[in-house]
Amino acid sequence: MSTILVTGAAGFIGAFLCERLLVHTGHDVVGLDNLNHYYDVAIKHERLQMVTSADVTSNRFHFQEADLADAEALNAIFEQYRPEVVINLGAQAGVRYSVDSPRSYIDSNIVGFFNVLESCRHYPVRHLIYASSSSVYGRSGTVPYSLDHRTDSPVSLYAATKKANEVMAHAYSDLYGIPSTGLRFFTVYGPMGRPDMAYFKFTEKMVKREPIDIYNMGDLRRDFTYIADVVSSIASIIEGGPGTQDSGVSARIYNIGNSDPVSLLEFVSTLERVLFEEGVIEHAAERRLLPMQIGDVYETYADVTELERDYHFRPSTRLEDGLRRFAQWYKMYRRL
């Protein structure tokens, strides 16, 4: 079996991926995370506890606290564990935070990713899989978002760093023969999610009986993708191995989305209803309709044709089902 390095292992996607690999495969898993305080670190520790609980008998999970921007520390981890597969999910996330704190995105998403590429070059790997984002499509007026669409007009620095990652990975694949696969994630949600995401913030406000802010007067559409579907897609790509472009370069990109966008108002209504039904809230929320936020886009909608073709997988969890699982977890997490 392989040794797989997962960066961002205490993050939302990273932790669930580590758990799946430990439960459903025989791979050794090295988890790397810097446990920064972009949001409450307590939820990161809870995710790590979930992962270690999945590994209670096999001792196949090895956690390393380190920063991707620290090239020496990263090289030491590659030297010690010699991973065959690297899954780079570690990054500074959040579109709106990038407006106020741009330097952290350069340190983590540009310098950090460069260090990952360099480590993969000096300690050759069989496959590099890395997180990109639907944000790279910018304000594309054509939906669904296809891999054929142009992605050279980002509307946030976060999106720009993710597009840079795709270009950097392609160059390293061409120059140094590092097979790479980029994943453009579309609005991932579910239990243990990031507290800065809209559904989590809406829930916190509803519980406190505070008004919730709905931007662009509610006229937004999002392709919400449940965490288990995201993890299953990554697992399929790990097992299926890297593909090759027509140019002969082993560098591919895939959309990872549910391909079923819903309006923000419909999303809020569904979330509110399942929170009622699961006993998380008792009162309807006041809604404040506000203008579009800087760096935001009107609609996201994934075309997953290539994912289905190459790996025979398509995300399919219904929004209501995913939000209900989040509500059940949230009630337990907050001890309501």
| Joined tokens for residue 49 | 């506890």
Question: Each residue of 1-29: b (16+ CB within 10 Å) or e?
Answer: ebbbbbbbbbbbbbbbbbbbbbeebebbb
Quick check: helix, strand or coil at residue 91? Answer: coil
Looking at the DSSP bridge assignments, the partners of residue 5 are 30, 86
**Where do we find the tokens 């446990």?**
35
- Contact assessment for residue 273 and residue 279, using Cβ atoms and an 8 Å cutoff: no
Measured distance CA(255)–CA(244) in Å, rounded: 16
Cis before residue 154, ω within 30 degrees of 0? no
Catalytic pick among 38, 123, 130, 158: 158
Rg (the chain; Cα; Å): 19
| H helices present in 88-144, as ranges | 97-100, 102-105, 112-122
* Helix then strand then coil, % of the chain, to nearest 5: 45, 15, 40
Alpha-carbon dihedral sign for residues 326, 51, 97, 252 = negative
**Where do we find the tokens 């899989």?**
129
| Joined tokens for residue 330 | 């949230």
Measured distance CA(17)–CA(23) in Å, rounded: 10
| Joined tokens for residue 311 | 């790996």
> Is-catalytic flag, 38?
no
Q: Which residues are marked as active site?
A: 158
